[in-house]
Amino acid sequence: SSTPIKVAVTGAAGQIGYSLLFRIASGDLFGPHTPVELRLLEIAPALPALEGVVMELLDGAFPLLDSVQIGDNPEKVFDGVNAALLVGARPRGPGMERRDLLEANGAIFSAQGKALNNGAAEDLRVVVTGNPANTNALIALSNAPDIPASRFTALTRLDHNRALAQLAAKLHCPVRELNRMTIWGNHSASQYPDIFSARRGEQSISDLIDDQHWLEQEFIPTVANRGAAIIAARGSSSAASAASATIDHLRDWVLGTPNQDWVSMAVPSDGSYGVAEGIVSSFPCTAQDGEYRIVPDLELNDFSRARIDASVSELLEEREAVTQLGFL
Ligand code: NAX
């Protein structure tokens, strides 16, 4: 359609923002026929830097970019938005405990949840990239009682894409031949990348790779620790790949997933697969007509069951911590 979509991006002056904004402006999110209006949120000290990014965005002369607004007030920036990409978050500083991190981000994501509740468009869709992403999404949705909880999701697509990349390398095949990869649980080191439903074409991966040592000692730790490996190599955390995954997540939710395949999204649990109802946990999901659905009826072996339960119990601990802090 030619009606512009209003897209909010938070943390827009950050590393991920620097890649993400240009991908959105060039049409990678909603396709080559849909204009976008960007609404960029930052904290006040980062607004001058953000003005520089806006200058570059304008200099891109993107035909699909109708307008760019910036600000540090979520109520104003989120007014009327159809999509919100919540990327900005408080990083863990020196000496900061996990509780301090949850507290700092709880304040950010409860305020942003309220602002979305007050002013976002009826069809709002939210993806939280800023860490701790799953629990930040839970806090935002809990502070937005008038918006269906299902509209709040968190990013595990980067983990999903990393898992596909590792599997493609192992099989010496292009990523496009692989399908039905799943990330379960939290976007953290406890995540479980599950290859037991995955396929190359129509061939089961378990028939192609029967190597529990590789699975446990190489594949899973490589995927789970990929962020740290990138920091070690690049000197800063993954940014372009995180931006690309954020685009993939929202684009597939809105425009649909391919037939015979699915994606990984952290979504509010409906109790599927024994995952406690209400927590934001990663599942295999398909999407059609702008609605996602958790893939039903997959069989889980004991290995998968134990890994999923471990990641889910970490999410339950995070929920308990932010409940005690008063954010839910
Ligand atoms: P940067 O530190 O480069 O940028 C973050 C930006 O957010 C900063 O410009 C900061 O001023 C802004 N910000 C902080 N508080 C804000 C608030 N209350 N409102 C608006 N803006 C605010 O980090 P970057 O590398 O861009 O990463 C952003 C977030 O993504 C981090 O939380 C990071 O941990 C998380 N990541 C999540 C990933 C995922 O797969 N879910 C992977 C990549 C990334 O590590």
The string of pLDDT tens digits covering residues 142-167 is 999 999 999 999 999 999 999 999 99
For 14-47, give one letter per residue: b (16+ CB within 10 A) or e.
Answer: bbbbbbbbbbbbebbbbeeebbbbbbbbbeeebb
So what's the pLDDT on residue 95?
87
CATH number for the domain including 36?
3.40.50.720
The string of pLDDT tens digits covering residues 102-144 is 999 999 999 999 999 999 999 999 999 999 999 999 999 999 9
Atom of ligand 1 nearest to the CA of 50: 9
Residue 196 CA to ligand 1 center (angstroms) comes to 32
Look at residue 260 and give its three-state secondary structure. Answer: coil
Contact 159, 187 (CB under 8 A): yes
142 and 18, same domain (yes or no): yes
133 and 273, same domain (yes or no): no
Question: Could you tell me if residue 326 is inside a domain?
Answer: no
So what's the pLDDT on residue 1?
56
Helix 240-255 / helix 15-25 crossing angle, nearest 10 deg:
40
165 and 147, same domain (yes or no): no
The string of pLDDT tens digits covering residues 251-272 is 999 999 999 999 999 999 999 9
So what's the pLDDT on residue 71?
98
So what's the pLDDT on residue 2?
79
For a pocket test of ligand 1, which of 53, 129, 231, 249 has the largest count of ligand atoms closer than 8 A to its C-beta?
129
Question: Could you tell me if residue 328 is inside a domain?
Answer: no
Residue 59 CA to ligand 1 center (angstroms) comes to 24
So what's the pLDDT on residue 98?
85
Full residue range of the structural domain in which residue 29 is found: 5-154
pTM: 0.98
So what's the pLDDT on residue 146?
98
- Tally of domains in the chain: 2
Low-confidence ranges of the chain (pLDDT < 70): 1
Q: Residue 161 annotated as binding?
A: no
Q: Residue 23 annotated as binding?
A: no
Last residue of a domain, one of 108, 139, 154: 154
Say whether the ipTM exceeds 0.90: yes
Assess whether the C-beta atom of 89 lies below 6 angstroms from ligand 1: yes
Query: For residue 107, what are its two tokens?
Result: 């304040």
Q: Residue 13 annotated as binding?
A: yes
C-alpha of 42 from chain center: 19
41 vs 299: CA distance, rounded Å: 42
166 and 273, same domain (yes or no): yes
Assess whether the C-beta atom of 126 lies below 6 angstroms from ligand 1: no
| Residue in 327, 278, 321, 263 with CA at minimum distance from that of residue 152 | 278
Q: Which residues contact 173 (CB under 8 A, 6 or more apart)?
A: 200
| Residue in 196, 218, 193, 216 with CA at minimum distance from that of residue 206 | 196
